[in-house]
Amino acid sequence: MILTGIEDEDKWLAEGIASIRHNAFYMHRALEANNLRDALKCSALMLSELRTSKLSPHKYYDLYMRSFDELRKLEMFFKDESKHGVSIVDLYELVQHAGNIIPRLYLLCTVGSVYIKSKEAPARDVLKDLVEMCHGVQHPVRGLFLRTYLAQISRDKLLDLGSEYEGAKDTVMDAVEFVLQNFTEMNKLWVRMQHQGPVWVKEKLEKERSELCDLVGKNLHVLSQIEGVNLEIYRDTVLPRVLEQIVNCKDELAQCYLMDCIIQVFPDEYHLQTLETLLGACPQLQPTVDVKTVLSRLMARLSNYAASNADALPEFLQVEAFAKLSSAIGKVIETQVDMPIVGAIALYVSLLSFTLHVHPERLDYVDQVLGACVKKLSGKPKLEDIRAKKQIVALLSAPLEKYNDIVTALTLSNYPHVMDCLDDETNKVMAMVIIQSAMKNKTCISTADKVEVLFELIKGLIKDLDETAKDELDEEDFKEEQNSVARLIHMLYNDDSEEMLKIFWVVRKHIMAGGSQRLPFTVPPLIFSALRLVRKLQGQDGNVVGEEPVTPKKIFQLLNETIEALSSVSSPELALRLYLQCAEAANDCDLEPVAYEFFTRAFILYEEEVADSKAQVTALHLIIGALQRMNVFGVENRDTLTHKATGVIVLTYSIITVSCPCSFVPKTFTVSSFHLSFSFCQHSAKLLKKPDQCRAVYACSHLFWVDDQDGVKDGERVLLCLKRALRIANAAQQIANATRGCSGPVTLFVEILNKYLYFFEKGNPQITSGAIQGLIELITNEMQSDSTTPDPVSGAFLASTIRYIQFQKQKGGVMGEKFGPIKV
Amino acid sequence: MVLVLALGDLHIPHRAPDLPAKFKSMLVPGKIQHIICTGNLSIKEVHDYLRTLCPDLHISRGEYDEDARYPETKTLTIGQFKLGLCHGHQVVPWGDLDSLAMLQRQLDVDILVTGHTHQFTAYKHEGGVVINPGSATGAYSNITYDVNPSFVLMDIDGLRVVVYVYELIDGEVKVDKIDFKKTTAPTHSAH
Lowest mean pLDDT among A480-494, A805-819, B110-124: A805-819
> Would you say residue A364 has pLDDT above 80?
yes
Average confidence (pLDDT) over A157-164? 71
Residues in A closer than 8 angstroms to B188, CB to CB, are: 795-796, 799
User: B121 to chain A nearest CA, in Å?
Assistant: 19
Residues A65-76 pLDDT 10s:
999 999 999 999
- Find the length of chain A: 824
Helix axes of A592-608 and A572-588: crossing angle, nearest 10 degrees:
160
SS3 of residue A788 by DSSP: strand
Question: Which strand (E) or helix (H) includes residue B162?
Answer: strand B160-169
Residues of B in contact with A796 (CB under 8 A): 108, 188-191
B42's CB contacts (< 8 A; 6+ apart) are: B10, B11, B12, B14, B62, B64, B65, B66
**Of A444, A528, A534, A454, whose CA–CA distance to A493 is shortest?**
A444
Residues from chain B contacting residue A490 (CB–CB below 8 Å): 13, 15-17
Which residues does chain B have within 8 Å of residue A761's beta carbon, measured at their own beta carbons? 98
Res A166: pLDDT: 54
Could you tell me if B190 lies within 8 Å of chain A, comparing CB atoms?
yes
**Looking at residue A686, what is its pLDDT?**
43
The yes-or-no verdict on residue A670 having pLDDT over 60 is no
CA distance readout (Å), A768 to A761, A765, A819, B167? 10, 7, 10, 44
Q: Please give the backbone phi and psi of residue A91, each rounded to the nearest 5 degrees, phi first.
A: -60, -45
Q: Is the pLDDT of residue A666 over 70?
A: no
Q: Which residues pair with B37 in a beta bridge?
A: B7, B59
Label residue A472 by pLDDT band (50, 70, 90): low
Task: Determine whether the interchain pair B92/A699 forms a contact, defined as Cβ–Cβ distance below 8 Å.
Answer: yes
More confident call, A408 vs A543: A408
pLDDT on residue A673: 37
Is a pLDDT exceeding 50 seen at residue A656? no
Average pLDDT over residues A535-561: 81
| Three-state DSSP class for residue A242 | helix
CB distance A634 to A592 below 8 Å: yes
Residue to mutate among B63, B70, B72, B144, with most A CBs inside 10 A, is B63
Best to test chain B binding among A435, A477, A480, A483 (most B CBs inside 10 Å): A483
- What are the tens digits of pLDDT across the range A201-245? 778 778 888 888 999 999 999 999 988 888 999 999 999 999 999
Is B1 part of the contact surface with chain A (CB cutoff 8 Å)?
no
pLDDT at position A195, please? 79
H or E element that contains B173: strand B172-181
- Residue B65's pLDDT is 95
Q: Is residue A410 within 8 Å of A488, Cβ to Cβ?
A: no
Question: CA-CA distance, A819 to B2, in Å (whole number)?
Answer: 40
Highest average pLDDT, of A24-38, A478-492, A672-686, A788-802, comes from A478-492
Pick out chain B residues at pLDDT < 70: 184-191
Strand extents, DSSP E, A220-315: none
Task: Determine which of B142, B187, B188 to mutate to test the interface with A (most A C-beta atoms within 10 Å).
Answer: B142
- pLDDT over 80 (residue A752): yes
φ, ψ for residue A784, nearest 5 deg: -85, -10
pLDDT band at A87 (very low <50, low <70, confident <90, very high): confident
| Residue A486 backbone phi and psi in degrees, to 5 | -60, -45
Q: Provide the CA A712 distance to its chain's centre, in angstroms.
A: 57
pLDDT band at A555 (very low <50, low <70, confident <90, very high): very high
CB contact B155 to A (< 8 Å): no
Strands B73-78 and B121-125: unpaired
Which amino acid appears at position A162 of this protein? Answer: G
User: DSSP code of A50?
Assistant: G
Class of domain B1-179: alpha beta
- Return the ∠ at Cα A656 (arms to A653 and A659), rounded to 5°: 85
Question: Could you give the ipTM of this predicted complex?
Answer: 0.94
- What pLDDT does residue A740 have? 73
Query: Where residue A662 falls among pLDDT bands split at 50, 70, 90?
Result: very low
Q: What is the Cα–Cα distance from A650 to B150, expressed in whole angstroms? A: 40
More confident residue, A544 or B32: B32
Model confidence at A738, pLDDT cuts 50, 70, 90, reads confident
> What is the reported pLDDT for B98?
94
Of A297, A254, A256, A262, nearest to A278 (Cα)?
A262
Domain boundaries, chain A: 1-121, 123-266
pLDDT grade for A719, boundaries at 50, 70 and 90: very high
pLDDT at A688 over 50: yes
**Based on C-alpha coordinates, what's the Rg of chain B?**
15
| Spatial separation of the C-alpha atoms in residues A296 and A299, rounded to whole Å | 5
Q: Report the distance separating Cα B126 and Cα B129, nearest Å.
A: 8
Reported as a pLDDT band with limits 50, 70 and 90, residue A578 is very high
CA distances from A551 to A446, A544, A596 (A): 20, 8, 18
- Do residues A412 and A399 touch, judged by C-beta distance below 8 A? yes
- At residue A711, the pLDDT reads 77
Identity of the amino acid at B30: G
Is residue A194's pLDDT more than 90?
Answer: no
Are the beta carbons of A621 and A693 closer than 8 angstroms? Answer: no
Single-letter code of the amino acid located at A682:
Q
Q: What confidence score (pLDDT) does residue A4 get?
A: 61
Rounded distance between C-alpha atoms, residue A47 and residue B166, angstroms: 86
CB contact under 8 A, B190 and A792: yes
Residues of A with Cβ-Cβ distance to B86 under 8 angstroms:
none
pLDDT at A405: 87
> What is the average per-residue pLDDT within A6-32?
90
Q: Where are the domains of chain B?
A: 1-179
Task: Give the separation between CA A12 and CA A63, rounded to whole angstroms.
Answer: 11
B70-106: burial string, b at 16+ Cβ within 10 Å, e else:
beebbeeebbebbbbbbbbbbbbbbbbeebbbbbbbb
Kindly tell me if the per-residue pLDDT of A2 is higher than 90.
no
CA–CA dist A651, A112 (Å, integer): 119
Identify the pLDDT of residue B140.
Answer: 96
Q: Is the C-alpha dihedral spanning A607, A609, A615, A621 positive or negative?
A: negative
Q: Which of A717, A736, A570 is nearest to A646 (CA)?
A: A717
Chain A residues 572-591 within an 8 A CB cutoff of chain B: 577, 581, 584-585, 588
pLDDT at A664 > cutoff 50: no
Q: What separation in angstroms does the CA of B156 have from each of A281, B125, B189?
A: 76, 19, 25
**Contact assignment for A479 to B126 by CB distance below 8 Å:** no
Of A210, A220, A203, the residue nearest A259 (C-alpha): A220
Residue A659 banded pLDDT, cuts 50, 70, 90: very low
Strand partners, B5: B35, B153
Taking residues A745-757, report their average pLDDT.
92
Rounded to whole angstroms, the Cα distance separating A38 from A53 reads 27
CA distance A518 to A458: 14
Rg (CA), chain A: 47
Per-residue pLDDT reduced to its tens digit, A496-532 = 999 999 999 999 999 999 888 899 999 999 999 999 9
* H helix count then E strand count, chain B: 3, 11
Contact B191 A792 (CB under 8 A): yes
pLDDT tens, residue by residue, A770-797: 999 999 999 988 888 766 677 888 889 9
Q: How far apart are CA A32 and CA A25, in angstroms?
A: 11
